[in-house]
Amino acid sequence: MADEKILQELQEIKAAALLAAKPILTMQDAAAFMGVTKCNLYKLVSAKRIPHYKSQGGKFTYFKRVELEQWLTAVRVPTNEELDTRAATRCATKGGVL
């Protein structure tokens, strides 16, 4: 029982290491990398909301890891501290009072 669990964990580590080394990802790889279901990823692809590539026959869909990372981090949400600093700066430059 314990051996099976160790073997399963080793297989998961191996799969994660192989995925981390790939610059070009398949649909399954990309879904795992992004932490979404393949169904969700298909929806993004069909709506052309995510950068992707098709094989010459159009049967397969591929993704560049770098582009997925950029897409995932495209909309940064500022922290409350950053928002407070911006507000204080804006008030100071416009002569407002905090």
- List, for residues 11-32, the tens digit of each pLDDT value: 888 888 888 889 999 999 999 9
Q: Which residue has the higher pLDDT, 49 or 16?
A: 49
Question: How many residues belong to the chain?
Answer: 98
pTM, two decimals, is: 0.71
For the chain, give every domain's residue range.
2-93
Please state, in angstroms and rounded to a whole number, the distance separating the CA atoms of residues 77 and 60.
Answer: 34
- Tens-digit pLDDT profile for residues 54-89: 999 999 999 999 999 999 999 999 999 999 999 988
Residue 95 has pLDDT above 90, yes or no: no
